[in-house]
Amino acid sequence: MAVWALGINHTTAPLDMRGRFAFAIDQIAPTLIGLRQALTSNSMRHPGVETAILSTCNRTEIYCAADAPALDHTLDWLAHSGGVSPTLLRSHSYTLENDLVARHAFRVASGLDSMVLGEAQILGQMKNAVRAAETAGVLGTTLNQLFQRSFAVAKEVRSSTEIGAHSISMAAAAVRLASQLFEDLSQIKVLFVGAGEMIELVSTHFAARHPKQITIANRTLERGEKLASQFSANTMRLADLPEHLHEYDAVISCTASTLPIIGLGAVESALKKRKRRPIFMVDLAVPRDIEAEVKDLRDVYLYTVDDLAHVVRTGQAQRQAAVEQAEVIIDHGVQSFMHWLDQRSPQGGSVSLIQQINAQTDEWRALEIARARKLLARGEDIDTVLEALSRGITQKMLHGTMAELHKGDAEQRAQTADTVQRLFLRKER
């Protein structure tokens, strides 16, 4: 099996480029089916291809496995889905094969490839990606093994090293930046737009600073109320946001919308009503929730996920020793996965040979059982039949070995004898 991956992330592509290739979790399954159909078309000839897509605010990655790699076809498909040329996508993407795929997946799962070194949220996102691929019926044995080993490596990294001990999460970074603008966070009103996992994380951090008011605005009011109940917060329908935007000192947004939901005009109107009092805004969504032009307004302090990356990188030198320890664990995991993959290869492994041996022994066993049943039907003594059955199976299994022991020159017979001793005369049980 060939394993390959294609991706873009926060180190290779700008925010707006990443936004073109962001897939909401409910889009993953149908997207995977479309990808598999594209890769298994007659012109491409990659039957039985396995696929999975990991899509977060920092990365979109496609993982595939098949009899032969199809990196160019995968890149063409992704470029088309994002509405850009393959040449442009190639300049912002990375492609990996086999052991490099395993190493990358293990590093991602362990938080070594994240904006926030050692952050744990990516592990849950990878598990969601696996579940989506399973739901679509496109995961397959090889990719499932790759991801399950990724989770095991990540668990060992987190339990054996201090990779996440000093990390600053995006949520904590947002609170830190807000503290630089407002002297006392307990005197501000905070609006959270969305009710997903990231908003829950950020709102938890802000709630710990006891702001004057917390409001959750969400398209589905019921989901917003569920999150609001955790912090005794207010709720608001997303449609009412423009009317009330001016009431809030801090706005943190992270939705799955494909288009901005807070436009330049709405923010300009809010600033006038606030009499130019500043607004702190954080856009954690990819694609953007807040129009990029908002950042140019004089009294707005707008930060994106890429901006927050500069904050969370502080203290990375302290974690270098933990990174080195993690890389050792990952190296071992890569070697183990590649050994497993090699074992499944008819060219380099033993799976095909084992299958042939099992088929042959099943055939011999069936022949001898059929012969024993005939003898019993003729009234032969059962002990005699069992003796004949065991002798017949033994002779069939040893016939080839005995023949090889008498073939070739003295050196070849000695090598055969050594192999036979290791196979049949081992002391341990």
By annotation, the residues acting in catalysis are 57
Residues placed in the known binding site for substrate: 56-59, 114, 119-121, 125
CA torsion sign, 104 to 106 to 108 to 111?
Answer: negative
Evaluate the omega torsion of the peptide bond into residue 287 and state whether it is cis, within 30 degrees of 0. yes
Sequence-ordered list of residues with C-beta below 8 angstroms from that of 53, at least 6 positions apart, any chain? 23, 28, 31, 32, 35, 60, 61, 62, 63, 129, 132, 133
At 3, phi and psi to the nearest 5?
-120, 135
Secondary structure of residue 12 in the 3-state scheme: coil
Among 201, 195, 193, which residue's Cα sits nearest to residue 175?
201
Residues placed in the known binding site for NADP(+): 194-199
Q: Helices 197-207 and 121-136 sit at what angle, rounded to 10 degrees?
A: 160
- Alpha helix ranges (H) inside 70-139: 71-82, 86-92, 99-109, 121-136
Among 220, 221, 206, which residue's Cα sits nearest to residue 282?
206
Residues placed in the known binding site: 56-59, 114, 119-121, 125, 194-199
**Cβ proximity of 253 and 270 under 8 Å:** no
